[in-house]
């Protein structure tokens, strides 16, 4: 039987090392008792540090968890068909929570909010609304590997990288924006917009006011859109604080202008509340046509009424929401410092970061050559010999070999300590081996040849597709 081109094409991105590492982990997952030598999952940007706060609230609010109102069951009401515009109570609670995270410096209109089944759906829906197949969006590198799937696979839209480097801490610059724009035109691609993550995945840093102003100036001059993916906005644990693109728009009096209508925000509760399994995402746009079109498209990926009811009750509890944000950020800061301190003791540094569930880790000094082949060789050693699944920078389209994304919030403190011990032992052995063999960047060509053959994707065919949320 002949299948569709979409079913048989290879543009999903599932053969990226980001996803391949996941699948290796699933073959041999670490368990303290059952499999103590297994692979520790450090490629999962998941927040498990504050589940006790959520569970305490649920225990104290049995009506919400039991789908009751004033002690009376509303199960049947929730079980029946619901308008795809979403429950008004939940939309009101969600925009209130979004404002709380942003220090109440900006307010959001629930009528401009479109509910989606996670940020993956929100980003793809926006691309469907804003661009045609064969048109392009510009994305600063390094960027979340799943965007190759989310933005391109079904939409047919292309991604053109805005090249950012370690020389300035991977900041977005005006020359890099213009260079990406011109590159798109050389490829005969019409640029429809720029997409950024703020805070950044995988860098774990917030965009500066200067960068945000630069982006607004750029899209204003080019007449294009800006999507600001702000799903990590509640994870900012260090200075500088998070600044939403909406705050910059208001401060610059862009209301009731064309630019006001060309800026769109993506949000989710997957990271800030640690609820990726609940599939709660949202699009916020000031453009009525975008909101109307995205709302129609959302019927293909709705949030269940039961989920909306439960979370509307939780987020409407202002005291709980405020305390949760503060306490969660405190825990993230402590865990982040624990990883950075542990890596430093192994001679490994990280990009200075202030947000997110991961660190952008510099292992360039551990490469045997300044190549992406050497990066993949090192990554395989860390996966198979050390037993840690981390994400190589090449999977995030980083232009410099030797950077890795390492997650810290999806495991217990004991497991993180074990991971740190493993990497320290590996580095000690690795340094000793290099000093004995005289290996390193000056290696001879025969060693280079052997390494290049080793880094071929010998195990790629053994993997099976499996969808993963970032």
Assess contact for 357 and 46: CB atoms under 8 A.
Answer: yes
User: Environment class of residue 395 by beta-carbon count within 10 Å: exposed (0-12), middle (13-18) or buried (19+)?
Assistant: buried
What's the CA gap between 103 and 242, in Å, rounded? 9
SS3 358: strand
What's the CA gap between 67 and 89, in Å, rounded? 14
Q: Is 271 tagged catalytic?
A: yes
What's the CA gap between 138 and 144, in Å, rounded? 13
| Helices 288-297 and 118-130, packing angle to 10 deg | 130
Q: What are phi and psi of 204, to 5 degrees?
A: 70, 30
The single-letter DSSP state of residue 236 is -
Catalytic choice (91, 192, 271, 380) = 271
Q: Is 424 tagged catalytic?
A: no
Catalytic choice (148, 150, 229, 272) = 229
Neighbouring-strand partners of residue 140: 162
Catalytic choice (25, 143, 144, 309) = 144
Closest residue by Cα to residue 170 from 134, 136, 135, 199: 199
Neighbouring-strand partners of residue 405: 360, 391
Count Cβ atoms below 10 Å from residue 69 Cβ, excluding itself.
12
Assess contact for 239 and 233: CB atoms under 8 A.
Answer: no
Assess contact for 344 and 362: CB atoms under 8 A.
Answer: no
Helices (H) and strands (E) in the chain, counts: 18, 15
- Count the alpha carbons within 13 Å of 169 in the hemisphere toward its beta carbon: 13
Distance of CA 19 to the CA centre of its chain: 14
Q: Is 144 tagged catalytic?
A: yes
Assess contact for 190 and 222: CB atoms under 8 A.
Answer: no
Token reading at 61: 């609010």
Q: What are phi and psi of 5, to 5 degrees?
A: -60, -35
Catalytic choice (231, 245, 283, 420) = 231
Q: Is 229 tagged catalytic?
A: yes
Which residues are the active-site residues? Answer: 144, 229, 231, 271
């Amino acid at each position: 039987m002949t299948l569709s081109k979409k079913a048989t094409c290879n543009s999903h991105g599932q053969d990226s090392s980001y996803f391949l590492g996941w699948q290796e982990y699933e073959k041999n997952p670490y368990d303290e008792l059952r499999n103590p030598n297994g692979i520790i999952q450090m490629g999962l940007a998941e927040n498990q540090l504050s589940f006790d706060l959520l569970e305490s609230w649920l225990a104290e609010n049995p009506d919400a968890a039991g789908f009751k109102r004033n002690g009376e069951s509303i199960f049947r009401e929730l079980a029946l068909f619901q308008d795809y515009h979403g429950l008004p109570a939940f939309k009101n609670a969600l925009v209130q929570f979004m404002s709380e995270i942003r220090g109440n410096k900006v307010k959001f209109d629930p009528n401009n909010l479109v509910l989606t089944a996670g940020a993956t759906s929100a980003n793809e829906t926006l691309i469907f609304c804003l661009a045609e197949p064969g048109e392009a969006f510009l994305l600063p590198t390094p960027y979340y590997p799943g965007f190759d799937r989310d933005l391109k696979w079904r939409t047919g839209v292309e991604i053109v990288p805005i090249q950012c480097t370690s020389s300035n801490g991977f900041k977005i610059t005006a020359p890099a924006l213009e260079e990406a724009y011109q590159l798109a035109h050389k490829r005969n691609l019409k640029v429809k917009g720029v997409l950024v993550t703020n805070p950044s995945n995988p860098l774990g840093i917030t965009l500066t006011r200067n960068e945000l102003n630069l982006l607004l100036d750029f899209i204003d001059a080019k007449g294009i859109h800006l999507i600001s993916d702000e799903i990590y906005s509640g994870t900012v644990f260090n200075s500088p604080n998070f600044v939403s693109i909406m705050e910059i728009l208001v401060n610059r009096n862009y209301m009731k202008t064309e630019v006001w209508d060309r800026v769109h925000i993506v949000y989710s509760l997957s990271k800030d509340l640690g609820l990726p399994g609940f599939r709660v995402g949202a699009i916020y746009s000031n453009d009525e046509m975008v909101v109307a079109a995205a709302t129609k498209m959302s019927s293909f990926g709705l949030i269940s009424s039961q989920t909306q009811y439960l979370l509307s009750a939780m987020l409407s509890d202002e005291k709980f929401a405020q305390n949760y944000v503060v306490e969660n950020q405190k825990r993230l800061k402590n865990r982040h410092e624990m990883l950075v301190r542990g890596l430093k003791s192994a001679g490994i540094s990280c990009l200075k970061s202030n947000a997110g569930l991961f660190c952008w880790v510099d292992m360039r000094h551990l490469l045997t050559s300044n190549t992406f082949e050497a990066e993949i060789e090192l990554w395989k050693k860390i996966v198979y010999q050390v037993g840690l699944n981390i994400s190589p920078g090449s999977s995030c389209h980083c232009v410099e070999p030797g950077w890795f994304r390492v997650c810290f919030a999806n495991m217990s403190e004991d497991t993180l300590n074990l991971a740190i011990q493993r990497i320290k032992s590996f580095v000690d052995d690795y340094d000793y081996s290099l000093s004995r063999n005289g290996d390193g960047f000056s290696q001879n060509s025969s060693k280079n040849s052997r390494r290049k053959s080793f880094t071929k994707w010998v195990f790629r065919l053994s993997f099976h597709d499996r969808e993963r949320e970032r």
